[in-house]
């Protein structure tokens, strides 16, 4: 266990590189805790920050070699600042990865460029290379898939630790991780699978309920396209055109905007809006003459689905989105389903679910997503779903090793996220809360839910400094923290769940003009859990 009192502050710590040439350096396989064939530095280059000409860093690029000669390398990049604060931050990926994240830029949902602030910054392509983050055929190789799911995280960290020791003469005092979506799932893996190696983690809207999320994409696709038959019935009865979808969103925002005390285009009082759902459905059904098939599509988007069986983690439902509380639904512009589904034309989550089912869950490239019954799977499909849940879900509430390492975790969701259900992540949070209890949980875990935040976008926070204060002092920086909302350019206080942001008075661009309210309609959770 680290002695936190011995860790210098980021502002006081300035460690300069040693006279060492990293070009061509090899890292032996024995250095790693997870199996590989070692690593190598392929290229180094001294660079100047694009945003701060006074800041220089060494860019280091290299490979981690696989055990299986048919598996791809893990490609990684590390930025080593000329003046180091003794900390590192690992950046998570997105979608199916295949590309190294932009380690030179801001961390996710933040304006902070870590290398400009003296952090060692690094990330990897997760163990395969692809021009499109939607590609999933890499999963045909078992080692490549295992790297993508979790192994690349700690392998890449061990590369960083080796190189910082060589370059600065020591490893980082503190290791941080920041990621959203797939990077959020990776953030959870860092805590629950490799907790003793990470000190502070920021997790944004994770795709942690991996199998249920892809089943939701399949069931939404079925709701939209199930009626379609190119020869006998070339119509998708569940399809809703883009103009109608945009009008439904506009209607919801106009109806619910001022429930938080101010008309600013932001639906913040999400609980009051959701409590009005049945009434709003009647309004839009009559206004747009929605059919039963179209209403079923809206129901899958808004409410998700309930199964008669459970995943390996005990979950049996996916809770849907704020689709009728101002969220931006995406059913695509075309009612004709492609094979495979294509997000350029079809349901947004359809192609992602299609690739995951073809290459990761079933290992069958001929799998047709909308031809199967996911509510009542046959024995073969059921077995595959259970196996995938055991292997790929990152939602088990097991933070014991992370807690023992005095790790600190910030969990974040946006109410307008239409890729990862905020309600599903609330259920996951409750599993964690149930295991550790509210009091103990507060010592290592903070959970925020903010309005106007779409998928990993719409807000800018300085959570790296929050984590660093928390990790170095053992105390959370403040009970009230503020973030910049990209829709208005103004500040709002961060709302700890289940709070919501309420306007009180004063300049709406200033954070102290708002409060965090915990006023929730009676029996809300009983009705909408």
Of 128, 348, 349, 455, which is the active-site residue?
Answer: 455
E strands, 225-348, are: 305-306, 317-318
Of 124, 126, 181, 452, which is the active-site residue?
Answer: 181
- Residue burial 234-252, b: 16+ Cβ < 10 Å; e: rest: eebbbbbeeebbeebbebb
Of 391, 385, 397, the closest CA to residue 309 belongs to 385
Contact (CB, 8 A) for 45 and 101: no
Say how far apart CA 127 and CA 148 lie, in whole Å.
Answer: 6
Q: Tell me which DSSP letter residue 452 carries.
A: T
Instruction: Give the list of residues 6+ apart from residue 308 with CB closer than 8 angstroms, or none.
Output: 316, 375, 376
Contacts 24+ apart (CB under 8 A), 424-430: 424/209, 424/212, 424/213, 424/304, 424/318, 424/319, 424/320, 425/205, 425/206, 425/208, 425/209, 426/319, 426/497, 427/315, 427/319, 427/529, 428/208, 428/209, 428/395, 428/397, 429/497
Instruction: Give the list of residues 6+ apart from residue 50 with CB closer than 8 angstroms, or none.
Output: 104
Contact (CB, 8 A) for 44 and 38: no
Is 9 annotated as catalytic? no
Say whether 90 sits in a helix, a strand or coil.
strand
Say how far apart CA 92 and CA 73 lie, in whole Å.
Answer: 18
Is 181 annotated as catalytic? yes
Token code pair at residue 459: 């807000």
Contact (CB, 8 A) for 524 and 275: yes
Strand partners, 303: none
Of 260, 264, 354, 417, which is the active-site residue?
Answer: 417
CA–CA distances in Å: residue 313 to residues 181, 303, 385: 19, 20, 12
Say whether 4 sits in a helix, a strand or coil.
helix
Say whether 459 sits in a helix, a strand or coil.
strand
Is 125 annotated as catalytic? no
Catalogue the active-site residues. 181, 417, 455
């Amino acid at each position: 266990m680290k002695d936190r009192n011995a860790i210098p502050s980021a502002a006081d710590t300035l460690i300069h590189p040693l006279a060492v040439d990293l070009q061509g350096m090899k890292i032996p396989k024995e250095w790693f805790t997870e199996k590989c064939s070692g690593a190598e530095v392929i290229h180094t280059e001294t660079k100047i920050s694009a945003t701060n000409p006074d800041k220089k860093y060494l860019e280091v690029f290299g490979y981690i070699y696989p055990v299986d000669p048919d598996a791809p390398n893990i490609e990684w990049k590390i930025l080593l600042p000329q003046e180091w604060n003794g900390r590192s931050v690992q950046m998570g990926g997105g979608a199916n990865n295949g590309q190294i994240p932009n380690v030179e830029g801001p961390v996710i949902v933040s304006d902070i460029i870590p290398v400009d602030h003296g952090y060692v910054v690094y990330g990897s392509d997760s163990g395969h290379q692809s021009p499109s983050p939607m590609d999933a055929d890499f999963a045909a190789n078992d080692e490549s898939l295992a790297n993508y799911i979790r192994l690349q995280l700690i392998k890449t960290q061990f590369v960083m630790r080796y190189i910082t020791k060589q370059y600065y003469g020591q490893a980082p005092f503190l290791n941080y991780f920041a990621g959203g979506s797939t990077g959020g799932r990776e953030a959870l893996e860092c805590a629950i699978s490799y907790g003793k190696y990470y000190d502070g983690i920021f997790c944004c809207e994770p795709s942690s309920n991996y199998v249920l999320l892809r089943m939701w994409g399949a069931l939404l696709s079925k709701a939209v396209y199930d009626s379609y038959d190119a020869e006998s019935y070339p119509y998708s009865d569940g399809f809703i055109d883009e103009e109608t979808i945009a009008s439904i969103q506009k209607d919801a925002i106009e109806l619910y905007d001022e429930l938080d005390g101010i008309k600013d285009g932001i639906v913040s009082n999400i609980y009051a809006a959701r409590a009005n759902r049945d009434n709003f459905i009647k309004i839009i059904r009559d206004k747009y003459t929605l059919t039963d098939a179209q209403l079923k599509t809206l129901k899958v988007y808004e409410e998700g689905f309930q199964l008669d069986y459970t995943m390996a983690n005990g979950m049996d439902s996916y809770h849907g989105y704020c689709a009728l509380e101002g969220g931006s639904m995406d059913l695509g512009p075309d009612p004709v389903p492609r094979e495979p589904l294509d997000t350029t034309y079809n349901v947004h989550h359809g192609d992602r679910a299609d690739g995951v089912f073809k290459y990761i869950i079933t290992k069958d490239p001929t799998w047709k997503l909308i031809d199967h019954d996911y509510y009542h799977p046959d024995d073969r499909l059921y077995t595959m779903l259970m196996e995938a849940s055991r292997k790929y879900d990152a939602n088990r509430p097991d933070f014991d090793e992370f807690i023992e390492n005095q790790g600190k975790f910030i969990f974040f969701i946006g109410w307008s996220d239409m890729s990862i259900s905020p309600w599903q992540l609330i259920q996951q949070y409750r599993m964690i809360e149930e295991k550790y209890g509210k009091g103990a949980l507060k010592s290592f875990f903070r959970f925020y839910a903010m309005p106007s935040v779409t998928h990993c976008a719409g807000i800018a926070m300085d959570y790296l400094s929050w984590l660093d204060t928390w990790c170095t002092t053992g105390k959370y920086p403040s009970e009230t923290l503020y973030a910049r909302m990209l829709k208005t350019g103004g500040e709002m206080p961060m709302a700890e769940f289940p709070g919501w942001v309420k306007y009180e008075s004063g300049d709406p661009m200033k954070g102290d003009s708002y409060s965090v309210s915990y006023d929730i309609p009676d029996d809300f959770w009983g009705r909408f859990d």
